[in-house]
């Protein structure tokens, strides 16, 4: 028989059985976090004529606005070691055969102590929910994957696929997540959620209901130039001297990813004035908006980026940024000339 041990942060299961499960029967748990335009997570009973697959409770989430493929974090596997396989399954409700909306299971790597950090994709299954009602989707993840680093944890996600034509919001139902993993790991499920509840903090958790004193605040305001500039090539290729620090900075949105809430900001046309914002957890700003944003500086394969941004403020809109003229030679290998224009809006003329 499975045992549920309730802690203030998560419902955590660390016993010897290989398979553990959670089906929202506590009536309080929702999700551990999210990515993209995920809205309105709630622990509910029968809703809109849809009954839970297992027991009397289930999770509902929505996508709004419709943009990209948002993800609900429904389990977190920590204390991993090399050479381990983790199989995760959940049931999703889908009554639209061979079309959106649908769901599948996905994963990403994080640090072992911060579910909101991002260490790369852990991939996921290729099959979507079948569209015949409740359907189970599963995938086996492995720490043998090339981009897993020692000490990283696995974030298990329900990934949502909505139709571009709506409805907005598109509502989803999820139930009975099961994780099969070695007994040495810790499997964390949603429960009474504690975390940083201050929206001005770098590690603000919008799903936390109790403040646990863990809030980390920005070290101050800084220009994009000061984040980006270094004359030291370093171990790889000109990493920021502020890596893993939290700062507030400003810039104008010059480009957006059409599928994910990632975007670029720039605070001028001089060198070192652009930076990439990855994985913003809410609705991203619009092109031409000048914003002030607080986030953590992160190096991803020598790409300097801002991550874990909780919020931003709009200073003005309708702004334009002139592209900087460069040559293809400026972008060859690890060169200071390429680092100077990283994440900036540039133009290359007379390309053959």
Domains of the chain: 5-211 (2.60.120.260), 224-348 (2.40.50.140)
Name the residue among 125, 79, 74, 76 with its Cα closest to residue 102. 125
Which stretch of DSSP H or E encloses residue 228?
helix 224-228
CB neighbour class for 331 (10 Å; exposed up to 12, middle 13-18, buried from 19): middle
Are 275 and 227 in contact by the 8 Å Cβ rule? The answer is yes
What is the reported pLDDT for 228? 95
Question: Digits of tens for pLDDT over the chain (352 positions)?
Answer: 333 332 333 344 434 447 999 999 988 889 999 998 899 999 999 999 999 999 999 999 999 998 889 999 999 998 899 999 999 999 999 999 988 999 999 999 998 888 888 889 999 999 999 999 999 999 999 999 999 998 899 999 999 999 988 898 999 999 999 999 998 888 989 975 667 888 778 877 766 667 888 888 899 999 999 999 999 988 889 999 999 899 999 999 999 987 667 899 999 888 999 999 987 766 789 999 999 999 989 888 889 999 878 678 999 999 999 999 998 888 877 888 889 999 999 999 887 7
Are 237 and 334 in contact by the 8 Å Cβ rule? The answer is yes
Considering the entire predicted model, what is its pTM? 0.58
What is the reported pLDDT for 206? 65
Are 94 and 138 in contact by the 8 Å Cβ rule? The answer is no
The number of C-alpha atoms within 13 Å of 161 and in the hemisphere containing its C-beta is 18
For residue 197, what are its two tokens?
A: 């509840």
What is the reported pLDDT for 194? 67
Give the integer Cα–Cα distance in Å for 301 and 289. Answer: 28
Are 36 and 69 in contact by the 8 Å Cβ rule? The answer is yes
**Which residue is listed with tokens 């099959």?**
127
What is the reported pLDDT for 207? 62
What is the reported pLDDT for 13? 40
Find the Cα–Cα–Cα–Cα dihedral 313, 318, 322, 328, rounded to 10°: 70
What are residue 88's DSSP bridge partners? Answer: 139, 179
Are 285 and 262 in contact by the 8 Å Cβ rule? The answer is no
What is the reported pLDDT for 6? 29
- Let me know the angle formed at the C-alpha of 332 by 331 and 336, rounded to the nearest 5 degrees: 65
Which stretch of DSSP H or E encloses residue 345?
none
Are 206 and 115 in contact by the 8 Å Cβ rule? The answer is no
For residue 10, what are its two tokens?
A: 């998560």
């Amino acid at each position: 028989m499975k045992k549920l041990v309730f802690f203030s942060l998560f419902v955590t299961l660390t016993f010897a059985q290989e398979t553990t499960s959670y089906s929202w029967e506590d009536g309080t748990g929702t999700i551990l976090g999210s990515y993209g335009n995920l809205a309105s997570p709630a622990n509910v009973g029968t809703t809109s004529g849809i009954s839970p697959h297992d027991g009397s409770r289930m999770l509902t989430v929505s996508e709004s606005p419709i943009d990209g493929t948002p993800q609900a974090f429904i389990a977190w596997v920590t204390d991993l070691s090399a050479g381990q396989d983790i199989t995760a399954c959940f049931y999703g409700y889908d009554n639209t055969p061979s079309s959106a909306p649908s769901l599948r299971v996905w994963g990403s790597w994080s640090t072992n102590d911060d579910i909101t950090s991002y260490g790369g994709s852990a991939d996921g299954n290729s099959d979507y929910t079948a569209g015949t009602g409740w359907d189970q989707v599963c995938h086996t993840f492995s720490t043998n994957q090339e981009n897993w680093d020692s000490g990283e944890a696995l974030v298990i996600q329900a990934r949502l696929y909505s139709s571009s034509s709506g409805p907005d919001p598109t509502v989803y139902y999820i139930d009975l997540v099961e994780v099969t993993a070695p007994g040495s790991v810790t499997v964390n499920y949603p429960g009474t959620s504690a975390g940083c509840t201050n929206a001005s903090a770098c590690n603000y958790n919008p799903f936390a209901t109790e403040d646990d004193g863990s809030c980390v605040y920005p070290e101050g305001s800084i220009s994009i130039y000061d984040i980006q500039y270094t004359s030291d090539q370093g171990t790889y290729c000109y990493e920021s001297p502020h890596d893993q620090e939290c700062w507030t900075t400003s810039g104008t949105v010059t480009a957006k990813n059409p599928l994910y809430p990632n975007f670029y900001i720039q605070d001028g046309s001089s060198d070192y004035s652009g930076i990439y914002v990855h994985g913003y957890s809410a609705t991203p700003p619009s092109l031409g908006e000048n914003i002030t944003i607080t986030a953590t500086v992160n190096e991803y394969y020598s790409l300097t980026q801002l991550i874990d941004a909780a919020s931003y403020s709009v200073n003005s809109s309708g702004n334009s940024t002139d592209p900087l003229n460069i040559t293809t030679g400026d972008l060859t290998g690890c060169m200071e000339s390429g680092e100077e224009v990283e994440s900036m809006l540039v133009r290359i003329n007379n390309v053959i």
